[in-house]
Chains A and B, each alone.
Chain A
């Protein structure tokens, strides 16, 4: 398997607060990797370092090497907008723009000077399993969709740019079980084309969809491996305690 995304000796602090310590982790192409661990252990912080979302926090300090294949993600010669186009993101709370469904997809395409005709929009919506539900209401404000539909719209928005990697930060945490299963099915389907890293608090979800699982604790990666190995035969005692619900 080819490594798509990797972090070497990554350390992140906000002001004086150290959040990530010496992280070494890599994610394979066309695989789904789940990031698990108790709240506040730094999963979101790790995820957001790959598409340089921390550029928005003036007090974030980042050291180490982050790479998309051989590309240094923090190389000053590469525009951050280019990186975010290649590494898409889906957020914890569905955040469609206060615009129409159509415009929600078209926005990113226009911003990046890509074709944004109806076929392109349709293709993205189909890929996110949303087309049949919204094809007659493309002009409708996206905020009128249900929570699950909104999150699939956000996935369509990311997919429309044909990224290489999609980062997902607890994309189902605000959704009901039916919507959650639908999105899981979608994510499993998307891995054929994209590399996916997903943060989740749902142990069943990780086992249902993830090829690999990474367990984090207090800013460190404690264990990583095949999902079945992590859940059935964890090597680290803390992993065992966490997946058994003894803390978190």
Chain B
């Protein structure tokens, strides 16, 4: 190719990549703008504080109620439950893979865990209906198992691959010299893992957990299928719950266009957007600290 054509190709690609980059930014900005714009229409009818703190969600009643606290609590309950299960399991598995597993076992475990991340959420939800739910109902003698606990277990399964993969990277990245120093003063492998390796990997592990939280908050199909979707204020893990994501997914299809109820769903989405954003920012913050610490 002639030098001139090569040069102009170079310039052309520079612009093509710039445009694709800007398109992504524009799409993101557009989504946020749309959410906020429609939420404003809603807040003309309902005060933001009443919306956030209202105890009843019943937009189709005679006097519609737009209190989203039950939805926030549902999402929080399911996410929190999922993390209580996924954090110890995830960190334990990550530590096992990084420090104890033989290279052979590692080569089996890592791809299997990554495959788990590829299972579609509708399949996990299905398992919740036919397997985990009935199991919970049996064990706790409930009429059915479609409740917060069911959702939490399924979300834990879904968050685990992310948590394990990122935490394993963090543990693996702990400098060998720290471990040698610890063994050098007579520490056992277990003492070294608990007192040196995991604290040194803590920023990365926290980032892993936050990414898992983000995954759990945003998940829709699984919780929609598995938690029973009762929009009452939940009192415990055995109550049926209706998360923010499930509410939007269920009601968006039936709601009359541009009514208060329609705009209310946008307002929920905006709150959800900011909840996920915060989870991601916290995760990002710790990831950066982790990088800084490794450069030092």
Chain A contact residues, CB within 8 Å of chain B: 51, 53, 56, 81-82, 84-85, 88-89, 91, 93, 95-99, 107-108, 111-112, 143, 154, 157-158, 161
Contact = CB atoms under 8 A, between A and B. Distances in A.
Contacts of B180: 53, 56, 89, 91, 95
Contact of B185 (A53, A93, A107, A143): A107
Nearest to B191: A111
B181 A81 contact: no
B273 interface: no
Contacts of A99: 199
26 contacts: A51-B184, A53-B183, A53-B184, A56-B179, A56-B180, A81-B188, A84-B183, A84-B184, A84-B185, A84-B186, A91-B177, A91-B180, A91-B184, A93-B177, A95-B180, A97-B182, A97-B200, A107-B182, A107-B195, A108-B186, A112-B186, A143-B296, A154-B181, A157-B181, A158-B185, A161-B185
Interface in B178-224: 178-188, 191, 195-196, 199-200
Given A97-B178, A97-B196, A98-B178, A111 B184 contact: no
A85 B186 contact: yes
B186 A96 contact: no
A18 B181 CA distance: 26
B96 interface: no
A81 B186 contact: yes
Contact of A96 (B181, B183, B188, B199): B181
Interface string B283-296: 00000000001001
A3 to B, nearest CB: 23
Contact of A98 (B184, B185, B293): B293
Contacts of A81: 186-188
B296 A88 contact: no
Contacts of A95: 175, 177-178, 180-181
Band of interface residues on B: 20 to 34
A154 B180 CA distance: 12
A108 B188 CA distance: 11
A103 B186 CA distance: 15
Contacts of A143: 296
Which of B180, B182, B186, B196 has most A Cβ within 10 Å? B186
A89 B184 CA distance: 6
A98 B200 CA distance: 7
A85 B184 CA distance: 8
B180 to A, nearest CB: 6
Contacts of B187: 81, 107-108, 111
Contacts of A84: 183-186
Contacts of B175: 95
A161 B187 CA distance: 12
Nearest to A105: B185
A95 B177 CA distance: 6
A97 B186 contact: no
A157 B199 CA distance: 19
Select the residue from A53, A88, A98 with max chain B CB neighbours within 10 A. Answer: A98
B84 to A, nearest CB: 28
A91 B199 contact: no
Interface string B259-291: 000000000000000000000000000000000
Contacts of B183: 53, 56, 84
Given A88-B184, A97-B196, A111-B186, 18 more contacts: A56-B179, A81-B188, A84-B185, A89-B180, A91-B180, A91-B184, A95-B175, A96-B181, A97-B181, A97-B182, A97-B200, A107-B185, A108-B187, A111-B182, A111-B191, A157-B181, A157-B185, A158-B184
Nearest to A143: B296
Nearest to A98: B200
Contacts of A91: 177, 180-181, 184
Nearest to A103: B195
Interface in B237-275: none
Contacts of A108: 185-187
Contacts of A157: 181, 185
Interface string B153-195: 0000000000000000000000101111111111110010001
Contact of B186 (A53, A56, A82, A93): A82
Contacts of A93: 177
A199 to B, nearest CB: 15
A88 B187 CA distance: 12
A120 to B, nearest CB: 14
A112 B293 CA distance: 28
Nearest to B202: A98
Nearest to A110: B195
Nearest to A51: B184
B159 to A, nearest CB: 28
A19 B88 CA distance: 42
